[in-house]
Structure 1
Amino acid sequence: MVLRRWFGFEGRHAHTGPRHARPNGISELLARPQKRTWQAFTTGLGIFTMLAVCGLSSFFIVADERQGRDAQASGAAPPVAVPRDISSREADPAPLTPAEVFPGPEVVVDPARPAYRVLKTQADRRCAAAASGEIGTLLTDLGCHQVVRGTLRAPSGGFLVTAGIFNLDDAEGANWAHEKIKSMVDGERGRFQGMRAGKGTEAIALSSARVGWHVRGHYLVYCVTARADGRPIPEGDAEAGQILTDLIERYLHGTVLEKRAVRSAP
């Protein structure tokens, strides 16, 4: 409609002379070449536009192909890992193993700092072996399937640590346990058990140990730390706090379970 208005084709003009009148011969001869010229111009313009669009499309295709070749030549590669569902044991059925949680004789949290030395590892289907009292009962009721734990010596040598992962039914149960455990610990109605690893590690089983815990997916991670000499840990002890952060947040949660939460891309 816009084009018709622009070129004056909208509607019909009323005749001002007799209906049988014919146009002047000269006017008719002039009008026909102009009409042909205009038709030729519009046809040429349409062909030019079509060729331009085709040429531009071809340019983009060639450019895309070149970019793909350039990406391959520069070593760029598609992602090698994608997220993996660990919200339940149904989605994530493979059990944990000591080799997965503690794959070597040392745990390196920060390459710039000395490593933790692994003294002993263990996998147990009895979750109550690693948690006593109401905590053990709670974890069993929530379908705890196994616990994998290890006892380590801190880089300074002054602290012993037992750290591990409980394998529960689902994330809902793990989060429920995370909320309920604090009142049990504060009320001394349950505790996480330190694991002895031979002579000189008895202190890890003492009730004066410091504990922490966290969740990811259907897993509950925990850490028990105690002074190697068996003395109580002073309130606000910086090294004890660093140990809990290192092994709960950075290692078990941020390294071991991070690897479990991704899989190789197809």
Structure 2
Amino acid sequence: MRHATPTRSAGRHRRTTRRHLRSEPHPTAHLLARGLAALIVLGIFVMVGILVVADEQRPSPGRTLASAEIDARIASRTVDPAALSTAEVFPAGSADFATTAREVTADCAVAATGALRTTLARYGCTQAVRAALTVGYADYRITAGMLNLPDTASATAVNDQVRALVETGDGGFADMSGAATAAGTPVLWRTRGHYVMYCVITGPAGALVPAGDPRVQRVTTELLDTHLHDRVLVRRAGAASRGSRDRA
């Protein structure tokens, strides 16, 4: 009797595939994260704005004034009422020039000759600060000065009158002795705000200095532009600017 061999049925093996599910953030958390990021960016912008405004308003002695700001600070005696002094305009111990005499006077006529005396009185000049100077690179006798007029318009009018008077020989600026200078003497001047700056250059005994001498240009640049303008007037405008912020 044959025994039937039991048939082994083929079993099916089921593969179970696991899905790795990525959990999505909750909508509320997502909104909160975006809001926080927006607040951080806004805070940065606000902080930068505060720092910029604070820097502009901080009275910094080293801050360079713009040209228009300088003009505004010395536009008239109303906004720039402090009187000039010899110590301010021609301080002792300058590296650019030596001072042999200096004075400040309310009589502006002593700084002028001819019709310019009348012009200065007409336009309200109240101060003349003058000095006799020498420089190390030329044997010149130099008289320089600064005149205090009421406002920019007055200083500009004097400037125009000086030009015409010097060209015709009917007036000009005097040397420290008050004497009129010879025709052809280098007479240079500038205006800024309510001030007129000038210098008269002669030889050691009052001799005529050729206008084409390059040292004349050097004196003009160093004395009128660098010293009287940059060191005296720009510094004065800066002091006025700091004073106005302090009062505010």
TM-score by length of 1: 0.68
- After superposition, the Cα gap between the structure-2 partners of 1:180 and 1:47, relative to the gap in structure 1 and judged at 3 Å, is farther
- Could you tell me how far 1:105 is from its partner in structure 2? 2.9
**Gap change, CA 1:134 and 1:57, over 3 Å in 2:** same
Partner SS for 2:132: strand
The secondary structure found in structure 1 opposite 2:133 is: strand
Instruction: Map Cα deviations across residues 89-113 of structure 1 (whole Å, 9 max, x no partner).
Output: 111111000011112232x3xxxxx
RMSD after superposition? 3.0
How far the C-alpha of 1:79 sits from its partner, in A, is 4.8
Task: State the alpha-carbon separation in 1 of the partners of residues 129 and 190 from structure 2.
Answer: 15
In structure 2, the residue matched to 1:233 is: 209
SS of equivalent to 2:233: helix
Contact 1:157 1:228 in 2 (8 A): no
2:144 to 142, 150, 163: 163
Residues 189, 247 of structure 1: alpha-carbon distance in 2 compared, 3 angstrom cutoff: same
Where 2:159 maps in the other structure, the secondary structure is helix
Instruction: Answer whether contact 1:118 1:150 (CA < 8 A) is retained.
Output: yes
Q: 2:60 corresponds to which residue?
A: 80
d(CA) in 2 for partners of 1:205 and 1:182? 16
How far residue 250 of structure 1 moved from its aligned partner, in angstroms, is: 1.4
Given residue 49 of structure 1, which amino acid in structure 2 is its aligned partner?
Answer: L
Q: Does the residue aligned with 1:261 lie in a helix, a strand or coil?
A: helix
The equivalences for 1:39-188 within 5 A come to 44-45=26-27, 48-58=30-40, 61=43, 78-81=58-61, 83=69, 85-106=73-94, 108=95, 115-188=96-169
Aligned CA distance change for structure 1 residues 141 and 56 (closer, same or farther; 3 Å): same
Aligned mates of 1:98, 1:131 — CA distance in 2: 18
Cα separation, 2, equivalents of 1:211 and 1:46: 82
**Aligned-residue offset at 1:63:** 9.1
SS in 2 for 1:262: helix
Take 1:220 and 1:252, find their aligned partners in 2: how far apart are those partners?
A: 10
Shift of residue 229, structure 1, vs aligned partner: 3.8
Q: Which amino acid aligns with 2:112?
A: A
2:205 is the alignment partner of 1:224: no
Taking structure 2 as the reference length, what is the TM-score of the superposition? Answer: 0.72
Does structure 2 retain, via aligned residues, the 8 Å contact 1:195–1:205? no
CA deviation profile, 1:101-154 (whole Å, cap 9, x unmatched): 112232x3xxxxxx3111111000000010121111111111101111111011
d(CA) in 2 for partners of 1:128, 1:51: 79
- How many angstroms apart in 1 are the aligned matches of 2:44 and 2:78? 47
Distance 1:63 1:169, change over 3 A: closer
Instruction: Give aligned-pair identity as a percent.
Output: 29
Structure 1 residue 58, shift from structure 2 partner: 3.3
> How far has the Cα of 1:78 moved from its partner?
4.4
Instruction: Give the distance between the partners of 1:45 and 1:177, measured in 2 at CA.
Output: 78
- Summarize the Cα distance change of 1:59–1:139 in structure 2 as closer, same or farther, 3 Å threshold: same
Residue pair 2:141, 2:206 contacting (<8 A) in 1 also = no
Indicate conservation of the 8 Å contact 2:201/2:209, yes or no. no
Instruction: Flag the 1:142–1:59 CA change in 2: closer, same or farther, 3 A.
Output: same
Q: Do the aligned residues in 2 keep the contact of 1:124 with 1:147 (CA within 8 Å)?
A: yes
Residues 1:158 and 1:222: Cα distance change in structure 2 (over 3 Å): same
Aligned AA (1:128): A
Q: Deviations over 1:176-217 (max 9, x none)?
A: 111221110111111201114xxxxx9x86425311111111
Aligned to 1:243: 219
